[in-house]
Amino acid sequence: MARTRLTPERESELYGAVLDLLREVGYDALTMDAVAGRTHSSKATLYRQWGSKPELVARALRHNKPADVAQIDTGSLRGDFHAMVSIADDCQMERDTALMRGLVHAVHTNPDLHQALRELLIEPELNGLSVFLRRAVDRGEISADQPALKYVTHMLVGAFVARQLVEDRSVDQAFLRDYLDAVVLPALGV
Amino acid sequence: MARTRLTPERESELYGAVLDLLREVGYDALTMDAVAGRTHSSKATLYRQWGSKPELVARALRHNKPADVAQIDTGSLRGDFHAMVSIADDCQMERDTALMRGLVHAVHTNPDLHQALRELLIEPELNGLSVFLRRAVDRGEISADQPALKYVTHMLVGAFVARQLVEDRSVDQAFLRDYLDAVVLPALGV
């Protein structure tokens, strides 16, 4: 795929349109025709650049991530976690929550989308997280055989999903900071 | 509503048919006509007994719960948590996971269903949990101002959802026991 043919500005514009459509109509009703129409591009261009709808959607979501978790390095695990929370502001988190909610269902009925999200979004995020957990182990903040280490993702996912499901609210920075200090760091023995 | 007109066996049979249909076609495509057809009853009976589809589905799900969390009282928090995990066997958990996955989406698009599930399923479950957390506080196992106390649900929801989303597997008893011992109890300082 010759992704180089589009300028970064044009690519960014296309990804923005995909996310807007995703919020408006959901994944199943989002068509390449609609993306082409909204962005004044041809379907041929879209397919040449991205190959398929799942790949286009996954890349749009990845492009939307404000910064790379793997870049964070504050010198302490608590500092790294809190920096991670500060990447997105409350408004972005609310928008992202709405997006993700729509995708949870689509993921279960579209294995190709699940696969694309796994490769382009979930795994890079998990790798970023494991980089700063490994640094905490190297610094001696966490013991290498700490049993909660393999469950950090589970704790974090719980914060997002339960906040919505049980409390009927989106997460925000204050909530996530309190959860990190009350749950994640104590479970890790920090 | 005169729920007394049906025998417990007949009621149980009806709830079973509702859950089967829910697994087969999902909440949105489940109709009172289909329930009536499957159970050889009239739609009038269904509406007289349950009032509405969200109420019928929520009651069927509650009926499906193998036992009441609030009945558990082993004398220690760890014992209570592990007893909670033993209520449903691995096979039931896998079936329940499939059911719940289908409902996550329906809940967001059907506020009446969300309300019925909240009243009939989520709140009784949370109350049961809070009963045995309060006993642990009374016994002195957990300090009353333990900041992780308000996040026990979030930790548990995370175990279920992330297992599916990240690991692509259903939860089972061994996983839940390990998660309780590695995450939930240490976060609570037990």
Mean pLDDT estimate for chain A: 88
Per-residue pLDDT band at B142 (split at 50, 70, 90): very high
Per-residue pLDDT band at A173 (split at 50, 70, 90): very high
- A contacts of B155 (beta carbons < 8 Å): 155, 158, 183
- A contacts of B98 (beta carbons < 8 Å): none
Asked if the C-beta of B179 comes within 8 angstroms of chain A's C-beta atoms, the answer is: yes
| Contact assignment for A157 to B155 by CB distance below 8 Å | no
Asked if the C-beta of A143 comes within 8 angstroms of chain B's C-beta atoms, the answer is: no
- Cα distance between residue A179 and residue A167, in whole Å: 14
3-state secondary structure (DSSP) of residue B178:
helix
3-state secondary structure (DSSP) of residue B171:
coil
Residue A125, pLDDT score: 82
Asked if the C-beta of A190 comes within 8 angstroms of chain B's C-beta atoms, the answer is: no
Asked if the C-beta of B144 comes within 8 angstroms of chain A's C-beta atoms, the answer is: no
**Residue among B101, B145, B151 with most chain A CBs within 10 A, to mutate:** B151
CA distance A138 to chain B (A): 21
How confident is the model over B108-128, as a mean pLDDT?
85
Of A75-79, A119-123, B51-55, B76-80, which range is least confident?
A119-123
> Which alpha helices (H) appear in A26-52, and where do they start and end?
32-39, 43-50
Asked if the C-beta of A73 comes within 8 angstroms of chain B's C-beta atoms, the answer is: no
Please give the ipTM for the structure prediction.
Answer: 0.81
The segment(s) of chain B belonging to CATH 1.10.357 are 67-187
Interface of A with B in 116-135 (CB under 8 A): 122, 126
In the predicted model, is pLDDT for residue A135 greater than 50? yes
- Cα distance between residue B63 and residue A128, in whole Å: 43
- Largest Cα–Cα separation, chain B: 55
* pLDDT tens digit sequence for B10-55: 999 999 999 999 888 889 889 999 999 999 999 999 999 999 999 9
Q: At the top level of CATH, which class does the domain A66-187 belong to?
A: mainly alpha
**Residue among B166, B183, B184 with most chain A CBs within 10 A, to mutate:** B183
How confident is the model over A152-160, as a mean pLDDT?
92
DSSP string, B76-99: SHHHHHHHHHHTS-HHHHHHHHHH
Mean pLDDT estimate for chain B: 88
* pLDDT tens digit sequence for A37-63: 999 999 999 999 999 999 999 999 888
Q: Which of A78-92, A143-157, B78-92, B151-165 has the highest mean pLDDT?
A: A143-157
The segment(s) of chain A belonging to CATH 1.10.357 are 66-187
- A contacts of B101 (beta carbons < 8 Å): 108
Q: Which residue has the higher pLDDT, A29 or B4?
A: A29
Residue A4, pLDDT score: 55
* pLDDT tens digit sequence for B90-107: 888 888 877 877 787 788
Q: CATH number for B67-187: choose from 2.70.98, 3.30.70, 1.20.120, 1.10.357.
A: 1.10.357
The segment(s) of chain B belonging to CATH 1.10.10.60 are 3-62
Q: Residue A2's CB: how many other CB atoms inside 10 A?
A: 7
Q: Given its phi and psi angles, is residue A120 left (phi above 0), alpha (psi -120 to 50 degrees) or beta?
A: alpha
CA distance B102 to chain A (A): 8
CATH 1.10.10.60 fits domain B3-62: yes
